[in-house]
Amino acid sequence: MQEVVELSPNLASALIAGAQEEGREELMELWARLLANAVDPRLNSVRRSFIEAVKAMDPPDAAVLAYLHSQGYMRVVGSGTDRETIGLDVLPLRLLTNRNSITVSLNHLVAIGLMGKTDSGIWHQNDYGQEFMRACYPELSAA
């Protein structure tokens, strides 16, 4: 039997309430992952601010963030793709959506604090966003 961490009542109720109020699949997955990982003694890395971040997200935001993280992309630029960078010319094709939807999600992720954006218009994963994704997807994250 796997050991579990006892959650503080405040954190537990916030996670459960957020999960119960959500009906959109992409966000339900984030709630479930945060809750599961909050009780895992190997992780125990769920911050209260992560709950607020999920509450502020829309499903396309979650899809963009999950895709970038799962593929190891650290930056989004106008065009071109390499090991850590993907272009706005490619990302909509990979996510089966349009460029406007992607830029709206990227800008919203910046506003939430899960990504950053340089003055030259390059979106990038920041430390907070990486910790958020590590709490949601530890199996895809480096230690």
| Residue 13 and residue 49 share a domain | yes
Number of domains the chain contains: 2
pLDDT tens-digit series, residues 61-100? 999 999 999 999 999 999 989 999 999 999 999 999 999 9
Which CATH number does the domain housing residue 129 bear? 1.10.10.10
In a domain, 116, yes or no: yes
| Residue 120 and residue 79 share a domain | yes
| Residue 129 and residue 94 share a domain | yes
In a domain, 98, yes or no: yes
pTM for this model (two decimals): 0.86
DSSP string, 70-113: HHT--EEESS---SSEEETTTHHHHHTS-HHHHHHHHHHHHHHT
Range of the domain at 41: 9-57
1 pLDDT band, cuts 50/70/90, is low
Residue type, 110: V
Q: What is the mean pLDDT of residues 105-128?
A: 97
In a domain, 139, yes or no: no
